[in-house]
Amino acid sequence: MTQATFRIAIRHEGQFINAYLATMDTMEGAKLVASIDHELCVLDPQIFELFKDAMLRAMPAVVGLIGHKIDRIEIRDAPAHERAGHA
């Protein structure tokens, strides 16, 4: 297994909130991991928190599926160029 730096990119896209495994600086080549209905998350914000937690817990397995291993996990805001409204 090789090491690489990845992030979980959570994006509101249309009706869904999508979670991707992406490299640190770009969404190019990002792998869709899971989706959840946006309206469901609005109706109950705790569901969105559970979705984010599930994505964080799933990340080591997802990274392993593509032949890498995790060195560490950092939680931080999306790059500025990805925060300008909905994708």
Q: Say if 84 falls within a structural domain.
A: no
Q: Residue 34's CB: how many other CB atoms inside 10 A?
A: 16
Query: Does the pLDDT at position 78 exceed 90?
Result: no
> What angle is formed at CA 63 by the lines to CA 75 and CA 28, rounded to 5 degrees?
75
- pLDDT at position 85: 54
The structure's pTM equals 0.78
Q: Report the number of distinct structural domains present in the chain.
A: 1
Instruction: Please check whether residue 38 lies inside any domain of the structure.
Output: yes
Question: Residue 17 belongs to what domain range?
Answer: 2-70
Q: Show Cβ contacts of residue 13 under 8 Å, excluding neighbours closer than 6 positions.
A: 86, 87
User: Mean pLDDT over residues 21-27, rounded?
Assistant: 84
Q: How confident is the model at residue 66 (pLDDT cuts 50, 70, 90)?
A: confident
Q: What is the mean pLDDT of residues 5-27?
A: 88
Residue 59 has pLDDT above 90, yes or no: no
pLDDT at position 39 is 97
Q: How long, in residues, is the chain?
A: 87
